[in-house]
């Protein structure tokens, strides 16, 4: 499984607004970029966050309809979220967050990162040994 997350150290404001908190979280994980002018990726993410607690996968068509976005735009953003490992595609074609809660989701991502760094450290050690 390939997973791409870019951790960005962004100063967090003092706000307690749920949208600002989710925006900060997504930005810190590199999920959203500056080219997303209409916040469509953020909106797709929020839609999946809201349905995660119900454990209900959504199709790209359902997301597009809810957000009044084109299906191709939704699929583009879903692919990015899939690549991050935060979203999973169900067998029946629906999309769902990897975990039902944000805390569980971040714990999983943290474990993934620790495992990756352990593998990278092992390879670095092997390289050092090979180089003498």
Q: Which residue has the tokens 């068509």?
A: 61
Domain assignment of residue 24, yes or no: yes
Domain assignment of residue 82, yes or no: yes
Q: How confident is the model at residue 33 (pLDDT cuts 50, 70, 90)?
A: confident
**How far are the Cα atoms of 25, 48, 50, 108, 129 from residue 102, in angstroms, in the given order?**
10, 11, 11, 10, 41
pTM of the model: 0.85
Percent of the chain scoring above 70 in pLDDT: 98
Stronger pLDDT, 130 or 3, i.e. the higher one: 130
Residue 46 contacts residue 23 (beta carbons within 8 Å): no
119 contact partners, CB below 8 Å, separation of at least 6: none
Domain assignment of residue 5, yes or no: no
Domain assignment of residue 91, yes or no: yes
Count structural domains, the chain: 1
Read off the CATH number of the domain in which 94 is found.
Answer: 1.10.10.10
Q: How confident is the model at residue 32 (pLDDT cuts 50, 70, 90)?
A: confident
- Residue range 49-82, pLDDT digits in tens: 999 989 889 999 999 999 999 999 999 999 999 9
């Amino acid at each position: 499984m390939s997973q791409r997350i870019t951790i960005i150290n962004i100063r967090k404001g003092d706000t307690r607004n749920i949208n600002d908190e989710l925006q900060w979280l997504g930005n810190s994980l590199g999920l959203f970029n500056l080219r997303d002018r209409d916040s469509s990726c953020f909106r797709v993410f929020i839609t999946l966050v809201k349905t995660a607690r119900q454990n209900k996968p959504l199709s790209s068509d359902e997301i597009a309809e809810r957000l009044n976005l084109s299906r191709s735009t939704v699929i583009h953003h879903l692919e990015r979220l899939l690549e991050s490992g935060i979203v999973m595609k169900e067998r029946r074609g629906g999309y769902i967050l990897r975990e039902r809660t944000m805390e569980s989701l971040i714990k999983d991502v943290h474990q993934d990162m620790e495992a990756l760094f352990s593998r990278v450290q092992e390879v670095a050690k092997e390289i050092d040994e090979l180089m003498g």
